[in-house]
Structure 1
Amino acid sequence: MKHRHEVTLQQLLDARTAGIAIATSDPGDRALLGQRYEEAVEAYGKQENPSKTHRAKQGYALAMLGRNDEAIELLNRDNVGTHHEALAVLAWALWHGGEAATSRHPHRESCKDLLLQVQAHPEPSAVACRILLKLWFSVGIGGRPEQEAERAVRLHPQHGHFVVVLARERRMAGRADAQTLELLIPFLDARIAGILEEAFQTSLHLGRQDVLKEVLSRLRASSAGTCGHASERRELDKLVAYSELALARGGDATAAPRGWELIAPLIPTASQEESQRHERGLDTCRLAICLAAEMKDEAAIQSAVSALVRAIAARQQRGGGTGRGRGCWRRRAMPGVELVPGGSAQSTRSRTQRASASASAGMTSARRLPSAL
């Protein structure tokens, strides 16, 4: 069957990137141009004997909806074209479709090659930048993505996701600065994973109590309003409690009791099974000790220390060590809290946390592309 006057995926993306109109009578093409991907998939799916061109466009739309298993059945290196966004989307679909991503991912090298081509583009789209940054470490591009995040912020200043990455990279390198904090502040009320965490961490490092209090007020509201999983509420309560500790060390006499009210219910009980159930029990106990010390409450200190000893013993029985290793629990832990009460909160150096993600209702799933971009 002869397919006449077909517009390729590359032509559609070129037109959309340039902001120019393109003549097409295909309803799927019009939907794809308008980023209405459900509609595009449905329209392309009605084609009888679809051509390679139609398969590529339908595969792209499926990937943008997070339907990666279906997408990689249609979208491939032969029909994807050379537009940088299409290459990025193919990398995303390959990484998340089919076999689960592991250290021996069958498409690791292919994804890396695709993303290196995306990186070489002078002005990648917001979607392409997002994919590149999200898969940076997974595919092994190498180095830190700070420069890539800087470029993404410059090209797409309206997208706070890139500001979060930039703030995290600068903070982890010990270079948190006022300029980065000013970039974060306009997005404090946006539903962006990590935005409150990075604003909190950066303002803490810079000693910006004004911003810290703004972040804390939002975290308190999010914690009070969270009605989802208990784990989400627990994450938020921990971050608010940690924020209260920072304020307490800054001289706020009312902060430590507020933090203790939040953290006390999360302290693992004497039951070993309870200690095992909480991956972050050790950090919870450490945080509780610091808050109790700020309150100068001997009973609370004794309770928290006893819980820490039990949690360490339970972990050692499971072969997990004392909690200073590099296991999964540490990667997901709350910001590190010094065991010496009254230590400087600004000396904290921690990995990016997932707590503020819980405050971002309606977050995109890990496998779904940020099609709103």
Structure 2
Amino acid sequence: MSEFKSKLPHIGTSVFTVMSKMAAQYNAINLSQGFPNFPVAPELVENYEKVIKGDYHQYMPMPGAPRLLVEISQKIATHYGRIVNPEEEVLVTAGATQAIYTAIQAVIHRGDEAIVLDPSYDCYAPSVELAGGKPIHVNMQADFSVDWNKVEDAISAKTKLLIVNNPHNPGGTVFSEEDIQAIEQIMERHPHIFLLSDEVYEFIHFEEKHISMNTRKTILDRTFIVSSFGKTFHVTGWKIGYLVAPKYLMDEVKKIHQYIVFSVNSTSQMTLSNYLPQADLSQLGEFYQKKRDFFRGLMKNSRFELLDCQGTYFQVARYSEISNLGDVDFATEMTQKHGVAVIPVSGFNKDQHDDHLIRFCFAKDEETIIKATEKLCKI
């Protein structure tokens, strides 16, 4: 038998899979993996029912359903004032993860470096490595803010890509205008690098408003922007998102996309084509802010220290008053002993540094939040 050599020898099962499996095994309330447990909009279901009965069951065009591409471009114009060419600058993808992976494959060559801000979503670094590149991890501050001088110090002649996530998972932070300007200045001083902006939680922001890279004209010619219908419309199982980039970059992305998935689920695309014009995305932040406030209000009598949460549907908490255990062991104990599954934040860090933080997902119905917080307040 020939020798087999792994391309990702250091990668095991993700912490999300481990904790969700443990939650099921111990019948714990699952506040770990980021998916809603409440119904999607009735109008979206009605549209899907009509589409599924229609003649939309064959391959869609490789870049996406033409109507959906137009609706996406209209959404971008409405919310960000940017005019994009739907045929040349937008690509429908099999979820945001595929958009991220494909963009990285398009720009990273063997020996190139990509800067990743930790804690980070777990698909960034492996995608860089699979392209033959090297991820350069830069730790964020303890409050999930970014020292941009530290980021710039990590840039070298080999750096090809800067990856940012805003609003930030797991931190729940939102970049300020000063943060955005710092990114623009870095891009200006280093014209050889590209920007990948992961904005899957773009409409889930609260007191601090999300500033999309779609609004920054000076760097759009070197920027990939990733969005997620799954996050926006609570349909994570549909695995559908999209990528926006200038034509010369998108041309390279499409070359790779066609050999990964070729095209994305036809019925989901047609449903979203019909639903997007009637969807009021401006209300999404308020919807999740109520859930955030409900969760935080019920946690007031707990011994957890809740950090600030300005976006996403995740709440990070410090548990130092409760236990000296490392966050992985504490999350395991939470699941097995106390019946609530959470995510240890160290799993988002390349160096696994442990600040005794865990992440809750509050994208749940009221009954689930009440039952979970009752357990959490007894710890």
User: Does the alignment reach a TM-score above 0.5?
Assistant: no
Q: Which has the larger radius of gyration?
A: 1
Name the TM-score class by shorter chain: under 0.3
TM-score, length-normalised on structure 1? 0.25
Higher strand share: 2
Higher helix share: 1
- Greater length-normalized contact order (CA 8 Å, ≥ 6 residues apart): 2
